[in-house]
Amino acid sequence: MLEVFMYPVSGILKLWHLLFASFLDESMAWLVAIVFLVLTVRSFIAPLNWLSVRSGRISALMRPEAYAIRDRLNAATTVEEAVAALQDQKELHERYKYNPLVGCLPVFIIVPFFLGLYQVVLRASRIGQVDHVGLLTPGDVTSFRAALLNGVPITDFARDHRDLVVPLLVLAIGFTVLNMIITQYRSFLTLQFDEKVPRRVFWLMFAMIILLPWILWSTAMSGPIPVAIIFYWAWTYLYTLVQTLVYEYIMYRRYPLTDAVIQLRRDSFRAWRNKETKKNKNPEGLSKEDLRAKRKHHAQILGEARKQIRLNSQQAAQKEAE
């Protein structure tokens, strides 16, 4: 599957190399082509990254109202009450122009392109690689492998050239750690501490901030990682950091957190710190059978309400068409 994404990425690398080779030597042309490959591919998918980041912030901004509607929906005992709550939920999403799929869909496009970008550089750097790498011909691959960075072949293992690699690796680690800290702080500002799953994801990502530098260092210093990959890491992590800073500035100016969102987070932190329990899911003390029947009845109410919402939408669409 990665080969599909390697073709456009390798094509971009080849075009940049052809351009720069017209006035630079082969080694410098390949190095600059790697930099511009990162800039091109990352800039192409930057709007998708922004959609994901923006979707997360909008979700946080609408959370106070969304939680109130959710409580009404959970407490609905009739189809009419459920329809009213679902209609308010729909209007809330329309008012904020929020689509839950927007936050998830970009990932399925971004990740393959990331992997394709990484695989092109890795395979072209691999010792003994003489076959095509995407759109790179065997001649291109041979030329790539002959490129030098400060007199060191970019296909040599990074562990054999510590004097050259360590500064690049330190920069790469610094860029990515700083980026993760900024991203984690953004999550911290809207984290609902009294909800188990978001809280655990937050602590997992916090642990990654500590572990990732060791993982990158260990991989570079002991694994079969070419110098070209370390060079690529430094530039792609720098791009990611700059992109994150730009996104943070845009969100600060256009999508600032409201007092209601801040207060909701404070309440959740206070509840978590005081170890307050969630509302009793069975306040009436029903038996398991009765509780199961009640939940089934509520699910039926929600099902009928959603059918009614869809029917209303279809009727409204027909009237507009007429």
Question: How does DSSP assign 265-299, residue by residue?
Answer: HHHHHHHHHTTPPPPPS-TT---HHHHHHHHHHHH
Report the C-alpha gap between 217 and 213 in whole angstroms: 6
- Whether residue 170 lies inside any domain: the answer is yes
What does the pLDDT read at residue 212?
93
Question: What would the two tokens of residue 256 be?
Answer: 């600032």
Question: Is 197 domain-assigned?
Answer: yes
What's the rounded Cα separation, in Å, for the pair 161 and 151? 11
Does residue 213 fall inside a structural domain? Answer: yes
Which pLDDT belongs to residue 199?
92
- CA 306/CA 181 separation, integer angstroms: 41
Tokens 């990611």: give the residue.
240
Residue 145 pLDDT > 70, yes or no? yes
**In terms of pLDDT, which residue wins out, 150 or 133?**
150
By mean pLDDT, which of 139-143, 232-236, 273-277, 305-309 is the weakest? 273-277
Tell me what pLDDT residue 285 has.
Answer: 65
pLDDT in tens, 261-300: 999 999 999 988 887 655 555 566 667 787 788 888 889 9
Residue 26 lies in a domain: yes
Residues 6 or more apart whose Cβ sits within 8 Å of residue 273: 193
* 122 neighbors 231 (Cβ within 8 angstroms): no
Please report the pLDDT score of residue 322 as a whole number.
Answer: 65
148, β-bridge pairs = 153
| Helix, strand counts (H, E) of the chain | 11, 2
Q: Is residue 177 part of a domain?
A: yes
Q: Is residue 68 part of a domain?
A: no
Q: Which amino acid belongs to residue 206?
A: F
* Domains contained in the chain, number: 1
Does residue 116 carry a pLDDT above 70?
yes
Q: Using one digit for the tens of pLDDT, what is the confidence trace for 162-177?
A: 999 999 999 999 999 9
Q: Tell me if 290 is assigned to some domain.
A: no
The whole domain housing 16 covers 2-62+98-272
pTM summary value: 0.85
- Give, as one character, the DSSP assignment of residue 59: H
Integer Cα distance of 7 and 21 in angstroms: 21
Q: What is the pLDDT of residues 32-41, one digit of tens each?
A: 999 998 899 8
Three-state DSSP state, 53:
helix
Q: Is 85 among the domain residues?
A: no
